[in-house]
Structure 1
């Protein structure tokens, strides 16, 4: 009986996902003016907003309570990476036609990986300042994507304070990161930043954030759509690969050093 209920709830969950996708696609790409800037919102953003609003406790009644069951929520988080695999294949297809152009500025892609240390240098002091302790280690090691999640899970387990920190950041990034990136990219473009530079910087290690930022840029500069997708995809691939080594050999030792120093100073 319990298994039957799970199957029914999961079927409702799949129907719910298809309905949300249909609604988001029906809304389509929307843009609005913010002063002298033009902000674009993708269907992906509307899909996230719809699922966020319907997922709050006040709305989770009747069928929605069954859709947002603990099993369905855990399933969605656990198998998110498999949904991203076709997107990873698409990255390779986007990079290939522009490979010579990308290699000509390859050193820029490598140098930008140092930016992964920003979460430690800036985020760790702020996290400790607002009262986080061991949770700060998981929350500031990176942007809380799969690489950081795997590292913290193996070293501390997800039931630890560090694990709760990285899980919290993963959820926050999933809920709000896509929305922020889809707004930030065209906003910086309006301020005069190069579209190529913004395309590179959109590959921070999160497939959803990269897609949101690059798609928003394509909507603003459609004549450079191939270049934007190629630069963003190459950046994302390098971040996924080199970012792991940056995390293990640079971010982890730096974070450990800063954390110990700051905690000792705070205890005096």
Structure 2
């Protein structure tokens, strides 16, 4: 009964976060020709992080952040991501013919999924991480990586803490980075279509950050930008899973053993 009572607090707190974040809305910060978009998701995570600190974790907040609720949230987090896939499909369908005409370009970008292992793993190990690096560098720490790590190691493991840390960091700073880099690359001469395709890196928040910045630059091409970004995101989420399992995982295991001698 105690765990069920705590779960009620967690649900009410989630509703509070959603309401507060939606009330704040998307905040745009113009810096010259660049517009940085802060999404409601960013504010929701910031509020949750602040209220989870020792200063605020008292009384009701202590029940919200109870061990039972943390374990429950870790276990069922992946199910929250499933409706996103349905939304991607709805965005892709109206522009399916145009997307198929340039389909090979979307497929080519999947090679980039190995970049986190090739570049990130050596840096993580150099910084002193061990098994945490497995979760933190398998990908961008999005839904696919989260599901794989949680199934193979559980989210309460060192690997799980690595992927969850990257998930939080990516949501907070990745969105800001993509909101900035997309208009910067456009100013350097990259086409709107190319940048829209590259927005789908496997992260919904990063994709929205990049595509929103592009739409702010070219509002007349909003439908094309959304369709290309969603198609790219859908392919990354689908094909990226196979790239992760059959390429990234063996490569990461080889590199990890090479750099650490297999030490935990």
**TM exceeding 0.5:** yes
| Count of residue correspondences | 263
Q: Counterparts in 2 of 1:11-22, with a 5 A limit?
A: 12-22=12-22
Stretch moving more, 203-212 or 117-126:
203-212
Q: What is the aligned counterpart of 1:254 among 246, 251, 254?
A: 251
| Of 32, 40, 53, the match for 2:30 | 32
Shift of 1:161: 3.3
Inter-CA distance 95–162: structure 2 relative to 1 (3 Å threshold): same
Q: Structure 1 residues 55 and 247, CA, compared in 2 at 3 Å: closer, same or farther?
A: same
Distance 2:70 2:180 in 1: 27
Alignment of 1:1-268 (within 5 A): 2=2, 5-6=5-6, 8-10=8-10, 12-25=12-25, 28-33=26-31, 35-264=32-261
In the TM superposition, residue 101 of structure 1 has moved relative to its aligned partner by: 1.1
Secondary structure at the counterpart of residue 140 of structure 2: coil
Deviations along 1:204-263, one digit per CA (max 9) or x if unpaired, are: 112232223223322332111111111111111111111111112211222222222223
**CA pair 252-222 structure 1, distance change in 2 beyond 3 A:** same
Secondary structure (helix, strand or coil) at the match of 1:31 reads: strand
When normalised by structure 1's length, the TM-score is 0.83
1:118 and 1:63 map into 2 onto residues whose CA distance is 43
Cα pair 1:38 1:187 within 8 Å, conserved? no
For each residue in 1:59-87, what CA deviation from the matched residue of structure 2 results, as whole angstroms up to 9, or x when unmatched? 33444444444444444444444443333
Deviations 1:141-191 (A, max 9, x none): 111223223333344444443333223323333443333333333343344
- 3-state SS, counterpart of residue 32 of structure 1: strand
Distance 1:71 1:198 in 2: 42
Q: Secondary structure at the match of 1:143?
A: coil
Superposition RMSD in Å: 2.9
CA, structure 1 residues 215+51, in 2 after alignment: closer, same or farther (shift >3 Å)?
Answer: farther
Gaps of 5+ in 2: none
Q: Give the distance between the partners of 2:61 and 2:155, measured in 1 at CA.
A: 28
Question: Which piece of structure 1 moves more, 157-166 or 246-255?
Answer: 157-166
CA distance in structure 1 between the partners assigned to 2:50 and 2:91 by the alignment: 34
